[in-house]
Amino acid sequence: MLSCSIALAPFSVPWLTLALPLDQARIAQVDARKGVSPALVDTFHRQHNYLRISLTERCNLRCFYCMPAEGVELSPSGHILTDEEVVRLAGLFVRNGVTKIRLTGGEPTVRKGLVDIVGRLNELRKHGLDSIGLTSNGIALHRKLPELVANGLTHLNLSLDTLDPFKFEIMTRRPGHDAVLRALDVALAAPLRSVKLNAVVIKGLNDHEVLDFVEMTKDRPLSVRFIEFMPFTGNKWDKDKMVPSAELLSRIQAKYPAVTKALDEQNDTARNYMIPGHRGRVGFISSMSDHFCGSCNRLRLTADGQIKVCLFDPTEISLRDQMRQGAEDGELLHTIGRAVQGKRERHAGMEDIDTVANRPMILIGG
């Protein structure tokens, strides 16, 4: 009877590891099965097992929807989490139930030591980590990708908003379209669990390319995901430039009447569809027109060490400062739990989202 109660409620018996003479391998097995700590469960019973870690505020592109035209004031280098701090926090989250980590930026490939960080995160698999993802603009990725995969990278999201090289320079304020396509080819040939292509759709700029993106899924095992234009400080968001996902789906259905709804993964932010005869699929991330807050399982760690429980909530709590003041893991977990408990049921509607208090996307980790 006692063993049954332990299996059902491992977090209610903190003396377990002291009372039983388990070796390290057995402890790792227990950790891997234990589920999500109460510290990662909010007041609406959402369990947060997905952590996005921004590794840098720097980027080699200047996408207008992510960064203001005048640029942003970056944090001093001493404020950015060190490799040791990143790995320590990642380990704390994993040991408390996080099974999925995604590395973001800025552009994570500009972070020195990225390959080593992925390798060190890969060592957390014994504590229950299942996947290590990366979101990249692809500019400098093709050279690093083989090493990243060898060190444990499992998932890749590439950002590409247009298939027109000239328009690419307008949207990103930099050249590099060919480099992104080269990175995509390398990724599709690599032993990754999934490769996704993210495109932010903006009316009058690239929305007419939607069917061209869909065509990319015909012969490739690629998931193309269309993302609604979202408001952040300095990106001149206008609801008239936002194309609702339902409208994009209607356009696709007009050309591909047999398109069908695919089975979505649990807590997936995208609603996915399949087209008969296509190897890949298409998806829609409808943060503005049809939010998915009720199933949100993600937390964010900014490059300067702030925990952020919602992309659209400006509230942040510094884990970096606590670590540097000597906080132990238990104290950090208490702070994380306090942040998670403050998570709202849903973010505000598009008319009411606070873009003044919130940071630009590049400083949050997009």
List residues bridging with 196 in a β-sheet: 157, 223
Buried b (16+ CB within 10 A) or exposed e, 161-170: bbbeeeebee
3-class SS at 150? Answer: helix
The residue count of the chain comes to 366
6-25: pLDDT as tens digits: 333 333 333 233 333 444 44
Highest mean pLDDT: which range of 5-14, 86-95, 196-205, 307-316: 86-95
3-class SS at 74? Answer: coil
Between 121 and 234, name the one with better pLDDT: 121
> Which residue do the tokens 């061209």 mark?
212
| % the chain with pLDDT above 90 | 66
321-345: pLDDT as tens digits: 999 999 999 999 999 999 999 999 9
Contacts of residue 338, Cβ cutoff 8 Å, sequence gap at least 6: 317
Cα separation, 353 vs 296, whole angstroms = 18
> Which residue do the tokens 């996005």 mark?
52
- The domain segmentation of the chain, as residue ranges, is 41-364
Query: What Cα–Cα distance (Å) separates residue 81 from each residue in 8, 118, 131, 260, 311?
Result: 36, 15, 22, 44, 20
CATH architecture for the domain at 41-364: Alpha-Beta Barrel (3.20)
Cα separation, 16 vs 13, whole angstroms = 6
Cα separation, 162 vs 19, whole angstroms = 59
Write down the mean pLDDT value for the chain.
85
279-288: pLDDT as tens digits: 999 999 987 6
Segment 122-128 mean pLDDT: 98
Quick check: 341 and 310 in contact, CB under 8 A? no
Between 235 and 140, name the one with better pLDDT: 140
Give the predicted TM-score (pTM) of the model. 0.85
Quick check: 211 and 251 in contact, CB under 8 A? yes
Quick check: 140 and 182 in contact, CB under 8 A? no
43-82: pLDDT as tens digits: 999 999 999 999 999 988 887 777 766 667 889 999 999 9
Report residue 253: phi and psi, to 5°: -65, -30
Q: Which amino acid is at 190?
A: A
Query: What Cα–Cα distance (Å) separates residue 96 from each residue in 6, 9, 154, 279?
Result: 16, 13, 21, 37
Q: What is the predicted pLDDT for the residue at 235?
A: 45
74-117: pLDDT as tens digits: 899 999 999 999 999 999 999 999 999 999 999 999 999 999 99
Contacts of residue 182, Cβ cutoff 8 Å, sequence gap at least 6: 138, 142
- The burial class, CB within 10 Å (0-12 / 13-18 / 19+), for 41 is middle
> Which residue do the tokens 């829609």 mark?
284
